[in-house]
Each structure stands twice: as C-alpha cells, then as structure tokens.
Chains A and B, each alone.
Chain A
Amino acid sequence: QVQLVESGGGVVQPGRSLRLSCAASGFTFSSYGIHWVRQAPGKGLEWVANIWDDGRNKYYADSVKGRFTISRDNSKNTLYLQMNSLRVEDTAVYFCVRDGHPEIQYAFDIWGQGTMVTVSS
C-alpha cells in the first residue's frame, strides 16, 4: 500500500545537527513532490519545506531557511531533511507528506506516522 515511513528522530542538544529520512513505497516516488510538516507538542501543524518531484526546486518556511536542507534520492525512494543549528523551538514531530498534485491539487494526501525530534540541553 501507499506508505511513507520516517526515521532518524531523537534527542539532540541545541546547536547540533540531525538528519531525518523518509522511505516511500507503494507509488512512483519520482512523480510526486514531497513536504515536511512538523507539529510541536500540543500545538498545531507547521509547513516546513518541500521539494519538487525531480528534486530541482526546494522551498522553505522562514523559520528554518538557512538551517534546514531538504533533498531526495529518487533511486532509493527516499526523502531527507538535514537539520543544522537546531533550536529548542524545533522540537516537534516531523511528518513526511506527499503532495497530491496532479490528482489532488494543493493538498497533502499521504502522511507518514511522524518521527519525534527533541532539542534539549
């Protein structure tokens, strides 16, 4: 079945780095843009970044621009999020999310289960 599975979360000190991965299966990964969306404990959803299907174009929320890098390896059906200079406010569950384009426009149609990132000294 169509699935996204995140990994790589954990506890990290402020200022350090962490890399998240998202393994896709059940669909043609290289045909879809993918996003990262995060949710701080007890808070709402926040769009973080997205990458187009071919990996050429990447976009970031202002809150992470310059610190986070989204990338993908279509040969491995895998999405990445490199997070540098982590801050306490980056603590959240990070979801890997498929962009529904072209079948479903402007919406996130498939969500992973999420991976928890805790930034704490």
Chain B
Amino acid sequence: QVQLQESGPGLVKPSGTLSLTCAVSGGSISSSNWWSWVRQPPGKGLEWIGEIYHSGSTNYNPSLKSRVTISVDKSKNQFSLKLSSVTAADTAVYYCARVVDVVVITFDPWGQGTLVTVSS
C-alpha cells in the first residue's frame, strides 16, 4: 500500500523559504493520481496548499499562489513544496497526501506530517 513521508527543516527564519519533500513508497508517483500538500497551524483547521500531477501540472490555493511552488521528481518518486517569504503565520504541521479522486479532491493516504516553525 502507498505510504508517504514528509521531510525537511523543522525551523525556518522569517522571510526565508520553507522547503519540504514527500517521499512516496509502495506505489509510483507516475500513477494516475495527483499529489497534494495540506497544512494545519497549531490548534487550527486544515488548509489546502496545492496539488501536482506527474506531468508537472499544478493547481495552487489562490491565497498562497504567489509564494508556492510544488514540483515532482519522478526519478526519486517524490514531490516537493517550496513556500517563500515565510512569516510566523506559516508555522504549521505540513502534510502530503495522495489525491485518489481528482474531481472532488479526496485525500488518501496522508503522511504523518511534519511541524515547521517560522522563527528567528
């Protein structure tokens, strides 16, 4: 079964760039699925960040679009998130997830999540 694992720095300085990678195991990132990033600030709800297909096609949350880049590395079976110009408001647990139904954007499974703190 497909499993996802996020990795990356747990601390990023304000105005810097947050960079995370999601490794996919048990399946191919080149399958007929989209792949997505979702975040959750401490004590708050879930926020969709964006999604990518193995062809490189992407969709982003309009509120984050100017700062977000999602890319895919098929050779490593992984996809990545970059979020630039970060502030304390970007402190959150970041999850990667497989999109199993692209029409209604159903996520399954999810990675375990990784906490990223923005602080000097």
A and B pair up: no
Interface residues of A (CB under 8 A from B): none
Interface residues of B (CB under 8 A from A): none
